[in-house]
Structures are given as structure tokens and as C-alpha cells.
Amino acid sequence: MAGRRVVITGIGALTPLGKTAPDFWNGLISGKSGVRPIEHFDTSDLPTKFAGQIENYDSNDYFDRKEARRLDPVTQYAMITADEAIADSNVDLDSIDKDRVAVIVGTGIGGMNTFYEQSVSLHENGSRGVTPFFIPMLIPDIPAGHISIKHGFRGANYCAVSACATGSHNIGLAYDSIRYGQSEMAVCGGTEAPVWRIGVAGFSAMRALSRRNDEPERASRPFDKDRDGFVLGEGASMFFLESLDSALERNARIYGEIVGYGFSADAHHITAPDPDGNGVILALNGALKMAGITAKDIDHINMHGTSTPLGDIAETNSIKKVFGDHAYKINLNSTKSMTGHMLGAAGAAESLATVLAIYHSTIPPTINQENPDPECDLNYTPNKPVERDITYAMNNAFGFGGHNTTLIFKKFEK
């Protein structure tokens, strides 16, 4: 069943490159790094002392003080970007059927800072030290819940949690909700707020993070021979999706169309990628099949590209196996080189980068490519943006546990 066509009419972003979707895009095409030393907590005993951070973020710019205290940053980021996407869509909320608006928004970890602070308070002050808002602030579904409560959206409301594939999974599920008629419109995407002491300590203990403390802005360097791990990032990104009929009826601006996805599992290891790429290949081929296109139709791929020694090679090899000689004709990139790895928000932010690349006919660069890894020999759009007309583009997102997602977006044509 092909179902209805689904288009993107609103976008929102809060990232290390800026506090709005236009800021995010301008940062990408300028090759800006959003990675900087961490200053809001003590890093003296941590091996990694930097991250991709939202610069000068103040919750009081968006919420009153009482409300902000009851919202973990992971929910704050989601609500801010959902509001931007809804406003950007120019939809009249008073004239639509809110029973038919879904909110499908995920986070890979949830309220990490809330969990940490309340655990400390329990230890120091006993049970009376735990706020009654602890559980509602913590659980991964609560960002979607708050968005629906604020706007009165009564359609499908839930989150998929799949680590760093979360944002992409939620976009794919929202796409299904509309194309099969369960919903007419949807707010979807991912959010994450992991740049806290416990988050950096946890990923450091895994030896997953770069330790380039002397040059943090150059630490995220996907496909470069000198990469030494990923850079933790934070933020959120949201799409406002709707059926094509709905968008045309209200003469909405359309950024692009979603035409397919592939979901799969590595079934290999809790953190390491399958070196043979079997799961990723399933996702890539599944997305192509759903979209009804061939590998040669793809012009651009925004790769998962985490800047880890094993991951970049495994993803590159998977693309070679699926695309063959055409792999060398595609402009690939990793925008994590600029934002760091936003975990559960990564797939959503990078899907937005992919859609805007189509919309603006410009592919953002992979920065910090100075010493190419011989095993990573594709065109990763090094260091400078490239103008290119794009009809079909992919975004890849993979998560701990072996979760794989590939989304395919298309330039909109009636």
C-alpha cells in the first residue's frame, strides 16, 4: 500500500550551531563548529572537557521560572523546537481538527539531569528530598506529552526510543501515521540534553569520546585518519508534517517530501557496529525499495558519521556495497563534524540538514577533514559546501543496541 504523500511544511531546531532552524542552516553552510569547552560544571577530573553545546541557553527566555523548574531541559528543548516548527508551518491551529494531529517525539535517554540531581537529593536529604515532579520530568515520553498538552493535539502521541536512531525512527513513524490515514498532521523529531557531568562521565568511561581537549572545535572529524572518538552534543529538532492534500489546500510552503524509510537491526553487539554492515545494508535497501527508486537515484547522503574509528569505516563499506560505483558520485557528509553527536536528537537534526540541502540545492561540508583515512575514500564534501541540484537524499542514523534507520527525502514536485 503506497498510501498518501507526506510533506514537510514546518521546521524547528535548537542546536550547538544556533537557536533556530535558520541559525542551524547558516552555521552548517558556513562550516561553523559548535563544539566548545564545558563551563557549567566542573570537568577537572573528566578526560573529556568539551561538548557541542547550545550557546547562551537560558530557560527563562522561553518559560516562566516556575514552569522551567518543572521541565527537564530535554523537554524544554522539544517544546521550543516544536513551537518553532508549528509557527513556521503557518498553520491556523483554530481551524484544524486537533484530533487528527499526532505528536511523535523521542529522546534516547530522557531527563538525565533530573535523574542525577534527584538521586543526589535522595542520598543527601532522604525521601523528602525528591520532588513530586521527578517521574514526570524524567520519562522519555513526556516531551511529546507536553507538546500535545500545550497545543491541544489529541492524535497519536508517543515516542520510540532507539538510542541515536531515535529522532529518525520517530519521523518515520509519523510519516506512517499520516500516509496510512491515522493522522492528518504531525509534530515529530528528537530531543536530547546529555551534556551534564554524569553524561560526560558515562560516555568517557566507555572510552567513546574524543579527548582532544586542546582543540575542541577540531575534535569531531569524521572519516579523518586522526579521529579519536565522537563529541557529545545536545539540542532538538522538529518537523511539522502533513498530507500533501492538506498542504496544498492551505497553500503551505513545502520544504520537501518523505518518500521512504528502512528500519533494521545489526543483531551483533550492544555498542560496536557489525563490521560486515548487514543491518545497515538492510536499512539502506529497505528505504530504496519503499521509495520505489534505485541506488543510482540518490544524489546526497547525510551519514551517521560519528568520528569513531570503527563506525566511519563500517558505514562507508556498507554504502559501497549498496551503491557500487555510484557511491563515488554521491556527495556525502557528516554534520556531526559541526554539532557533535546529539544522540536521540541526531537523526532529527541531520534529517533537517538533509531536507534543507535539497531545498537550497547546497550540501553542507564535513569539516575537519585534513588527513583522509584511506579506508574512507568516498566524497564526504570536505570542508566547504557544494552547490548541487538534489532530487533524492538519504539520512542515516544508527544507535547503540544495533538499531539502524535510513530516511529518504525528495525535492517536492506536484
Measured distance CA(375)–CA(367) in Å, rounded: 18
Q: Give CA 272 to chain center in angstroms.
A: 20
Give the type of residue at 79: M
Measured distance CA(25)–CA(120) in Å, rounded: 39
Q: Where are the beta strands (DSSP E) in 89-143?
A: 101-106
Give the long-range contacts of residues 157-162, CB within 8 A, separation 24 or more.
Answer: 157/102, 157/103, 157/104, 158/104, 159/104, 159/105, 159/106, 159/107, 160/104, 160/106, 161/106, 161/107, 161/108, 161/344, 162/106, 162/108, 162/399, 162/401, 162/403, 162/405
Residue with cell 550557546: 55
Catalytically active residues are 164, 304, 341
Q: Where are the beta strands (DSSP E) in 107-149?
A: none
Measured distance CA(302)–CA(170) in Å, rounded: 17
* DSSP reduced 3-state for 113: helix
Distances (CA, A) of 294 to 13, 260, 284: 31, 12, 11
- Other Cβ atoms within 10 Å of 272 Cβ, number: 14
Measured distance CA(255)–CA(276) in Å, rounded: 35
Q: Give CA 318 to chain center in angstroms.
A: 21
Main-chain phi, psi angles of 237, to 5 degrees = -150, 140
